[in-house]
Chains A and B, each alone.
Chain A
């Protein structure tokens, strides 16, 4: 009994181990990407968590000690990134926005996985009319220009809260999770070990849970990371067009840039540059992380370091004492 318990326990982490093992062995370009991406992403996550506490001002603060801040002030010691036309501090807004962005994306990731993955699993494993119907709907959703879809949904959901923004983004990415999971399930379904399980009489749910799920889960970290990168871009685009978070509810990089465009003609560069750089940095970090994971986990692209062997003398007479 004890042996059985340990063996089940070990198997539970097989999926995770399958992800982590190649990561530890990553080298060369993949390693650099992986670790630099992880570093950047972690930096932003930390910033999202503690940023607002260490930020010099609030995101909507336009005065201190009864005195209103200068409008469109150049970067200075008081306002390291300068101020906007509304006298808010750019640095503070950039920091506070980190939390907003990551909140929304994280939520949408969870939603997307919660909906897309199970749908993909069920659809892929059971096939039939349900599968066909789902595939058609997902393909149609997929064919839709994603930004348009996000805009329309954000628009229809009305109130521009964090949740609504998250839902709008989620809907755009569900088809991706669905499709990838479904395709993977279909290919795994035909594997001999699944057939064997079926032959023994295992219930479909058990098969799904034990064999298919872990195999499929391997792909998810890569897709989730790359989707997160995309989601940030979608979210900031929504903000840019005015369909993102309500300005009073929080700061948002895309929104700030939309305000900064009119400043550009006057040569004022700080209102848009810093939010923009934040976007580029975060998305690059996420993409590097995702690509790094992809290179290490995906065996097709994996390239182990190849060392040239040394050539010695050909084995000729070898004296050795080999006992009985």
Chain B
């Protein structure tokens, strides 16, 4: 099963890239794959270029050295991500002394407190245990823990999904300020379009393991190029929503994905060529990219296949 298939992404320094898609589309796997934290039995192929090196071919020891001071990862479920037996102080001490062994105890303390302070955690709580904090605070501690080493790239895997809306807004505020405060680039993985619109410079839309559209956030949302992006935006509920819109069908089975363009079974604009050939990535103006036969390239489309695709009823079973 290919969780991620032929993905190509670039993140610039200090840039915030949002990676959006439905559950099971492979975005979490992509995020973890960058840090080399894939589960047992997974293989990866390709290139993850960071600072001129390919992370996928690095020996474990070197990769581990990068995790922390160069690459950071925040997880979705903050409640269980801290060791219940260790104080917050111990968590920071461990991370800092691991990567900067020459630091003195006083310096460790001051750096930890400083980063925590920027996350809104007061110094008086430094010696407390994780269970004494709420979910939102634990996530802030996790972010601080990730940032205390000033990584160049932070991958945030659904960081606010498990939190309530108000806390979510706070965390997002922190994340979008990262560029300003720390100069960190952020890969924000989520299924929530609202977050992307709020916080991201660029957006990559992922479907069934592939990036179907990518580009600067505002133009992309104002004028989506790919039908999937368009449908996603239409299904988003806001105060102006008068009726519910959903995309018929269900995310595809990645063990046996649909032929050709993987979105074709659910695409309202599908053409005859779509199930036959996988679309070729096309550059659009404004530094955008899309994978969809609607945008060509003309030369690759067999003649006569631009007719709308005939489709049978979408079987009820697919809805399950």
Contact = CB atoms under 8 A, between A and B. Distances in A.
Given A321-B276, A322-B275, A322-B276, A314 B6 contact: yes
A311 B45 contact: yes
Nearest to B275: A322
Interface in A308-322: 308-311, 314-322
Interface in B275-290: 275-278, 280
Contact of B278 (A308, A316, A324): A316
Interface string B258-280: 01100000000000000111101
Contacts of B6: 314-316
Sorted from nearest, which 9 A-B pairs have the closest CB atoms? A306-B41, A314-B6, A322-B275, A311-B45, A324-B310, A320-B259, A309-B43, A317-B277, A311-B43
B276 A320 contact: yes
Interface string A293-310: 000000000000011111
Contacts of A322: 259-260, 275-276
B5 interface: yes
Contact of B40 (A306, A310, A316): A306
Contacts of B41: 306-309
Contacts of A308: 41, 43
B1 interface: yes
7 contacts: A309-B1, A309-B41, A309-B42, A315-B5, A318-B260, A319-B276, A322-B259
B35 to A, nearest CB: 20
Contacts of B259: 318, 320, 322
> For chain B, what secondary structure do more than half of its interface residues adopt (helix, strand, loop), or is it mixed?
loop
Given A306-B40, A311-B45, A322-B259, A317 B278 contact: yes
Nearest to B260: A318
B282 to A, nearest CB: 14
Contacts of A321: 276
A314 B291 CA distance: 15
A314 B5 contact: yes
A307 B5 CA distance: 19
A321 B1 CA distance: 23
A320 B43 contact: no
How big is the B interface, by class? 10 to 19
Contacts of B45: 311
> For chain A, what secondary structure do more than half of its interface residues adopt (helix, strand, loop), or is it mixed?
loop
Interface of A: 306-311, 314-322, 324
Given A309-B42, A315-B278, A324-B310, 15 more contacts: A307-B41, A308-B41, A309-B41, A315-B5, A315-B6, A316-B6, A317-B278, A318-B260, A319-B276, A320-B259, A320-B260, A320-B276, A322-B259, A322-B275, A322-B276
Contacts of A320: 259-260, 275-276
Nearest to B4: A314
A309 B45 CA distance: 11
Interface string B2-29: 1001100000000000000000000000
Contacts of B1: 309
Contacts of B40: 306
Contacts of A309: 1, 41-43
Contacts of A307: 41
A265 B40 CA distance: 56
B317 to A, nearest CB: 19
Contacts of A314: 5-6
Nearest to A306: B41
Contact of A319 (B5, B277, B280): B277
B276 to A, nearest CB: 6
Nearest to B310: A324
A322 B45 CA distance: 30
A314 B260 CA distance: 13
A319 B40 CA distance: 33
A308 B2 CA distance: 12
Contacts of B280: 317
A307 B41 CA distance: 6
A311 to B, nearest CB: 5
Contacts of B276: 318-322
Interface in B24-62: 40-43, 45
A315 B40 CA distance: 24
Contacts of B277: 317-319
Contacts of B260: 318, 320, 322
Contacts of A310: 43
A318 B278 contact: yes
Contacts of B2: 315
